[in-house]
Amino acid sequence: MRIGILTGGGDCPGLNAVIRGIVKSAPDDVEILGIMHGWKGLVDLEYITLTDDDVEGIHIIGGTILGTSRTNPFKSEEMSQKLEENVKKIGLDAVIAIGGDDTLSVAAKLSSMGYNVVGVPKTIDNDVSNTDFTFGYHTAVNVGADAIDRLHSTAKSHGRVIFVELMGREAGWITIEAGLAAGAHLILIPEYPMTIDEIVNYVKERMENKGYMIVAVAEGFKPTELENVVGDKSEIDAFGHIRLGGIAHYMAEIIKERTGYDTRSVVLGHLLRGGTPTAFDRILGTRYGVHAMKLVLDKDFGRMVALKGNEIISIPLEYAIATKKYVPFDYYKLAQIFFG
């Protein structure tokens, strides 16, 4: 038996734990091919064989040893043909695809075409509704909380308002949890817009009472009246997100102008997705990998692994690209208790 595994989309701490979990739990007579750079490797026929020795200790390393790309082979007739040819050429009995919406939608399509495919969900944003948690998310929250912890002392020493920008274009999970964990004094996420006036009021109250402030803001947050405020529309991208310098920079500027307080901005960006995974993410990735291999051995194809409570289960692959999981209002209200 010959199985191909690949990782697609943005990288995420825990991908290597999934890979190791798959390889280590494969029986001796199963050969594992690591397809390089996501679906692209099946188009270009670039792959390596993976043995137990190749994956020794990789679960503590961030990123993915297989590389990744955002290539969607169904975007061109030529590529998809190449892919189908290659799957036959190297005799793949099954493919395990680890990735987000885009990667798994290709997997679902291949599955519907009759190929043996198993999916492993990956999103650092934790915004998939069919699984309690995705790996990489806890690491991102921990790194974010750790960074905010560090910013408290400098904000306090100088009496400043620091806006710290975290990932989350549409769902604010990383921002709200890192902000909650590290005691940010205001949390701004895409799900719950706020007017600049409201923000100004929060800033004034906190600064008058305590003299310094940390605001956690998701990259996708947009103040309600943004369009009226920003003159040059070219600074807002197709999603309505702020472009140049990021939302943290923008908020720091406008709040300084409106309140007179000394403001600063910090953008965490790629720091959140790099580096060694937390124990939780290593374990979750490992369990996902082992379960994906089990699905293959059980010939339970067209399915995706998921976490429910403490159990690893599987669900149909076509559910993978289901509704997004946004921060619910109850959770936001919980965070609000600690504002100010």
**Positions at the binding site for substrate:** 123-125, 160, 167-169, 219, 264, 270-273
Smaller CB distance to a second copy: residue 13 or 223? 13
- Interface with a second copy, residue 57, by CB under 8 A: yes
- Interface with a second copy, residue 3, by CB under 8 A: no
Whether residue 281 lies in the annotated active site: no
> Encoding tokens for residue 142?
């921990």
Size of the site for a second copy (CB under 8 A): 69
Q: Are 250 and 225 in contact (CB under 8 A)?
A: no
- Residue 209: other Cβ atoms inside 10 A: 9
> Encoding tokens for residue 169?
């274009």
- Interface with a second copy, residue 231, by CB under 8 A: no
- Interface with a second copy, residue 15, by CB under 8 A: yes
Site for a second copy in 25-44 (CB under 8 A): 25, 37
Binding a second copy (rule: CB under 8 A), the pick from 118, 151, 188, 217 is: 151
- Interface with a second copy, residue 141, by CB under 8 A: yes
Residue 113 burial (10 A CB sphere; 0-12, 13-18, 19+): exposed
Smaller CB distance to a second copy: residue 45 or 60? 60
Query: At CA 176, angle to CA 170 and CA 181, rounded to 5?
Result: 155
- Interface with a second copy, residue 244, by CB under 8 A: yes
Residue 288: which of 94, 138, 122 has the closest Cα? 122
- Interface with a second copy, residue 24, by CB under 8 A: yes
State in angstroms the smallest separation of the CB of 116 from a second copy. 22
Q: Are 100 and 61 in contact (CB under 8 A)?
A: no
**Which residues is 121 bridged to in the sheet?**
99
Q: Are 111 and 317 in contact (CB under 8 A)?
A: yes
Site for a second copy in 195-214 (CB under 8 A): none
Helix/strand/coil for 31: strand
- Interface with a second copy, residue 122, by CB under 8 A: no
Smaller CB distance to a second copy: residue 224 or 280? 280
State in angstroms the smallest separation of the CB of 88 from a second copy. 28
| For helices 246-259 and 196-210, angle between their N-to-C axes, nearest 10 degrees | 70
| For helices 279-297 and 137-158, angle between their N-to-C axes, nearest 10 degrees | 160
Among 11, 125, 127, 281, the active-site one is 125
- Interface with a second copy, residue 48, by CB under 8 A: no
Instruction: List active site positions.
Output: 125
